[in-house]
């Protein structure tokens, strides 16, 4: 009886425990309820990836991505939790759902593996090495070289896909170490993001290490979200849009990326010389450019006729008359835009190292029904003064991109450059319209910002730049030195390209001061993470000097005069 009684009590106890056991098993085997409110945002990254994300001297997360993530978390009402470490481990943790978001480059493989947000930056890589190492026009041109890359990074993915014979891949734990190996002569090249490269050269004091290629591997920079969480992707996209509109994202960009002195946090004492030296170099370049521009403006200006004009005998008089007829000419210009009467020419732009076409600058042309063919400097300043230049800009963007969509594929990343007044970028409606015009399959668009006037609303211009960049639109500072160029404006614009004005190029072989200023400008542009282009190249000797000085791109009459769009298309077909 006692045994039977104990068995009965055991059975009753067992049935009392079953529901709890089943509940525990269910909680273990099934995912947590998605109804539970999210309270924190777990953010991963590389512990050594300045100035984007890194651990500072106190072991705390810092950098552009970190601050942007902190703003996103605050915007979403979440507590940011940063967990930076080894990059390979970070990717594994994100894939397993142990992290919520990680900033990274877009790639097709990553798009299949994670949820990706809309891009918030466009970034590039470059091959870095000692200045005596041969330059390389593209990754395909690499032969018999040792190339350092970060393991599991975008450069690592690209080089593995390339699989060039004779090219040996050397993997490191972080991007900065790839530059260190190049500095020590352990590899020929380091393939690293340009921002990381220039930051490391400056902050790690790597003399003799320079960029040996044009910008490569243009990629969108995004937040990768753990798999199976589309709601978080949508929430971060909405937050990024709000931060762009409020100017917060651009403020952080200027603070961390557009301002070399702020990158990587407070610099150690041994680096105190490098940062002032950079600003002294920039100040010398800008001051020299301003001085020469002032001196040249004191010389009486002469009108330069458009190539289609038969004579310049009455050009100065006609320009004067056009200025007097300002309201009438402005009305006629608006009518020409509305009726699609404005035309344009394309001036070729090449990579100075390889000689291959990079694209072209679009130059407006107006065959006036009453005054005949007019050069841009006869009517563009009038439109600028009347603040209707945005109407013309949008017209050219739309027509130029429509034509460029028919460019033949050459295997190169082509772009069309179109001039835009800096002040017009303060108009959010114009910015929206330019972005809309770039939707779909089209070549890259580079907006060449002219500084013919003092920037009236620099804060609103600054707000527009990240929005444009997030849609793949590059920013170039045109005619650098001929307008209101300054270090303040360079920091605000954080350009992708710095374009040296022709007045400092055409006589540089005979002018020591011009050569010194052009060298300083090239170095300044590269330190700011921008490519550098030169206008006004009119002979082979000038091109050779600029190439040896490290200038990336160029245009001018020796390379090609402005030509009809159909003629430029033939050049592209010949390049193949």
DSSP designation for 409? P
- Give the pLDDT score at 6: 44
Question: What was the pLDDT predicted at 170?
Answer: 95
Same structural domain, 71 and 149: no
Q: By residue range, what is the domain housing residue 397?
A: 277-298+324-575
Query: For residue 442, what pLDDT band results from cuts at 50, 70 and 90?
Result: low
Mean pLDDT computed over 424-428:
85
Cα distance between residue 48 and residue 176, in whole Å: 8
Residue 5 lies in a domain: no
One domain for residues 82 and 141: no
Top-confidence range, 96-100, 257-261, 262-266, 339-343: 96-100
- Nearest CA among 202, 221, 346, 215 for reference residue 279: 202
CA 315 – CA 305 distance, rounded (Å): 7
Average pLDDT over residues 523-536: 87
Say if residue 153 is in the same domain as residue 291: no
Assess whether pLDDT exceeds 70 at residue 87.
yes
Residues 305-330: what's their mean pLDDT?
Answer: 45
Q: What is the CATH number of the domain that holds 239?
A: 3.40.190.10
- The 10s digit of each residue's pLDDT in 112-169 is 999 999 988 878 888 999 878 888 888 988 989 999 999 988 899 999 988 788 999 9
pLDDT at position 239: 95
Do 435 and 521 have their domain in common? yes
Query: Do 82 and 171 share a domain, yes or no?
Result: no
Same domain, 355 and 455: yes
CB 104 within 8 A of CB 44: no
Q: Which residue has the higher pLDDT, 67 or 479?
A: 67
Give the torsion sign (CA, 553, 559, 562, 566). Answer: negative
Residue 559: left (phi > 0), alpha (psi -120 to 50), or beta?
alpha
The answer to whether residue 451 scores a pLDDT higher than 60 is no
Could you give the count of Cα atoms lying within 13 Å of 378 in the half-sphere of its Cβ?
A: 29
For residue 232, the model assigns a pLDDT of 96
Structure tokens at 423: 């002040």
Residues 340 and 465 in one domain: yes
Same domain, 193 and 254: no
Q: Check if the beta carbon of residue 256 is closer than 8 Å to that of residue 63.
A: yes
Write down the residue that tokens 């407070």 correspond to: 266
Is 361 in contact with 534 (CB distance < 8 Å)? Answer: no
Answering whether pTM is above 0.85, one says no
Residue 385 banded pLDDT, cuts 50, 70, 90: low
> Are 119 and 470 spatial neighbours (Cβ–Cβ below 8 Å)?
yes
33 located within any domain: no
CATH of the domain at 566: 3.20.20.450
* Residue that is last in its domain, among 220, 253, 286: 220
Q: For residue range 197-207, what is the model confidence (pLDDT) as tens digits?
A: 878 887 888 87
Would you say residue 432 lies in a domain?
Answer: yes
Q: Tell me whether residue 126 is in a domain.
A: yes
- CA angle at 502 for the pair 497 and 503, rounded to the nearest 5°: 130
Q: Specify the length of the chain in residues.
A: 576
> HSE of 283 in the Cβ direction (CA atoms, 13 Å)?
6
For residue 522, being part of any structural domain is answered with yes
User: Rounded to the nearest 5°, which phi and psi values hold at 420?
Assistant: -145, 140
Cα–Cα distance list, 299 to 296, 302, 509, 546, 552 (Å): 5, 9, 21, 27, 31
Same domain, residue pair 486 and 518: yes
Task: Determine what percent of the chain is predicted with pLDDT higher than 90.
Answer: 37
Tell me the C-alpha to C-alpha distance, in Å, between residue 255 and each of 5, 96, 529: 78, 34, 14
pLDDT, tens only, 239-286:
998 998 887 887 887 678 754 333 444 333 323 333 333 444 444 444
Question: Mean per-residue pLDDT for 1-5?
Answer: 42
Mean confidence (pLDDT) of the chain: 79
- Residue 21 within a domain: no
Question: At residue 30, does pLDDT exceed 70?
Answer: no
pLDDT band at 96, cuts 50/70/90?
Answer: very high
Q: Note whether 202 and 340 are same-domain residues.
A: no
How many folded domains does the chain comprise? 3
**Same domain (yes/no): 250, 195:** no
Q: Which residue has the tokens 């970060």?
A: 150
- Are 426 and 484 members of one domain? yes
- Assess if residue 153 is contained within a domain: yes
| Structure tokens given for 526 | 């590269």
14 within domain boundaries: no
CA distance 274 to 257: 16
Residue 485's pLDDT is what?
Answer: 54
Q: CA of 378: how far to CAs of 323, 332, 482, in Å?
A: 8, 13, 18
pLDDT at residue 4 greater than cutoff 90: no
Residue 488 pLDDT? 66
């Amino acid at each position: 009886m006692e045994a039977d009684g104990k068995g009965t009590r055991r059975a009753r106890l067992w049935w009392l425990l079953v529901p709890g056991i089943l509940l525990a098993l269910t909680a273990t085997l099934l995912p947590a309820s998605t109804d539970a409110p999210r309270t924190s945002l777990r953010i991963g990254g590389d512990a050594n990836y300045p100035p984007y994300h890194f651990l500072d001297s106190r072991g705390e997360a810092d950098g552009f991505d970190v601050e942007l993530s902190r703003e996103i978390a605050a915007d979403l009402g979440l507590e940011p939790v940063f967990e930076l470490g080894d990059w390979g481990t970070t990717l594994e943790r994100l894939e397993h759902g142990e992290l919520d978001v990680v900033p990274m480059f877009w790639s097709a493989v990553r798009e299949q593996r994670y949820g990706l947000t809309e891009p918030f930056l466009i970034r590039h890589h470059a091959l870095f090495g000692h200045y005596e190492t041969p330059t390389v026009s593209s990754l395909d041109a690499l032969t018999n070289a040792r190339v350092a890359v970060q393991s599991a990074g975008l450069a690592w993915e690209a080089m593995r896909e390339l699989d060039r014979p004779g090219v040996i891949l050397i993997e490191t734990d972080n991007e900065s170490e790839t530059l260190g190996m190049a500095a020590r002569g352990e590899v020929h090249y380091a393939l690293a993001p340009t921002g990381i490269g220039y930051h490391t050269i400056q902050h790690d004091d790597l003399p003799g290490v320079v960029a040996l290629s044009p910008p490569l591997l243009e990629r969108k920079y995004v937040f990768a979200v753990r798999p199976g969480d589309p709601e978080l992707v949508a929430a971060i996209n909405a937050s990024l849009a709000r931060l762009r509109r409020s100017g917060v994202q651009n403020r952080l960009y200027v603070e961390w990326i557009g301002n070399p002195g702020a990158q990587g946090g407070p610099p150690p004492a041994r680096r105190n010389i490098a940062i002032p030296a950079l600003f002294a170099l920039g100040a010398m370049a800008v001051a020299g450019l301003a001085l020469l521009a002032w001196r040249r403006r004191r010389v009486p200006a002469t009108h330069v006729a458009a190539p289609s004009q038969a004579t310049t005998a009455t050009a100065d008089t006609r320009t004067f008359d056009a200025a007097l007829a300002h309201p009438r000419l402005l009305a006629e210009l608006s009518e020409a835009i509305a009726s699609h009467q404005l035309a344009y020419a394309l001036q070729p732009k090449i990579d100075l190292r390889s000689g291959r076409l990079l694209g072209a600058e679009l130059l407006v042309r107006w065959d006036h029904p009453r005054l005949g063919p007019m050069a841009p400097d006869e009517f563009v300043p009038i439109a600028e003064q009347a603040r209707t230049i945005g109407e013309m800009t949008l017209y050219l963007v739309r027509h130029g991109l429509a034509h460029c969509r028919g460019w033949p594929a050459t295997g190169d990343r082509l772009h069309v450059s179109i001039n835009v007044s800096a002040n017009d970028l303060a108009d959010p409606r114009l910015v929206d319209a330019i972005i809309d015009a770039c939707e779909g399959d089209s070549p890259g668009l580079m907006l060449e910002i002219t500084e013919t006037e003092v920037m009236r609303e620099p804060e609103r211009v600054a707000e527009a730049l990240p929005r444009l960049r997030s849609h793949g639109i590059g920013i170039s500072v045109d005619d650098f030195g001929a307008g209101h160029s300054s270090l303040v404006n360079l920091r605000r614009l954080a350009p992708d390209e710095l374009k040296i004005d022709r007045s400092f190029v055409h006589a540089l072989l005979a002018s020591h001061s011009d050569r010194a200023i052009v060298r300083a400008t090239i170095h300044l542009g590269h330190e700011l993470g921008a490519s550098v282009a030169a206008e006004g190249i009119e002979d082979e000797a000038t091109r050779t000097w600029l190439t040896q000085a490290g200038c990336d791109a160029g245009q001018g009459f020796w390379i090609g005069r402005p030509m009809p769009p159909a003629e430029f298309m033939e050049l592209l077909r010949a390049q193949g």
